[in-house]
Amino acid sequence: MDTSPVLPSAEEDERDVAELQATALLTQNNAVLEAQLEERPLAKKQEELQEHEVEIQKHQVQKAETPTTVPVQEPSPTPQKLPKKALLKNDDYELIRVGKVRMQHSFFFFLKKK
């Protein structure tokens, strides 16, 4: 009976390297996603827009309150400005779809490697 250690084959080495690369890639992607969740760039942009709109409204109210020498005209029957559309949506199905495509791709990729 031979008790010498068995060296792993080239296929096993390649499989181990591929698994390590996949794990490293997933770890990197998770770190990037967590950073994006913490930074929330679109949410910050939306808050800035809302703050800017509030400042504009305050400025318009202050203008309306200051006495002017121009005779006051009746407001024209023009429609009010509609609020701007929100940048973020709670029902963003595109991200869900991208996640599904990514999972299918990675599943196919790992099946092909084995």
Q: Dihedral sign for Cα 110, 112, 113, 114, please.
A: positive
90 within some domain: no
58 within some domain: yes
10 within some domain: no
Give me the mean pLDDT over the 44-73 stretch: 79
* Parent domain of 43: 35-63
First to last CA, the chain: 31
pLDDT the model gives residue 95: 77
pLDDT the model gives residue 12: 84
Number of domains the chain contains: 1
pLDDT the model gives residue 90: 64
Residue 104 structure tokens: 């299918």
CA distances from 98 to 14, 29, 52, 92, 105 (A): 29, 14, 33, 11, 10
Distance CA 5, CA 41 (A): 54
What pTM did the predictor assign?
0.32
51 within some domain: yes
pLDDT in tens, 9-32: 778 888 888 999 999 999 998 888
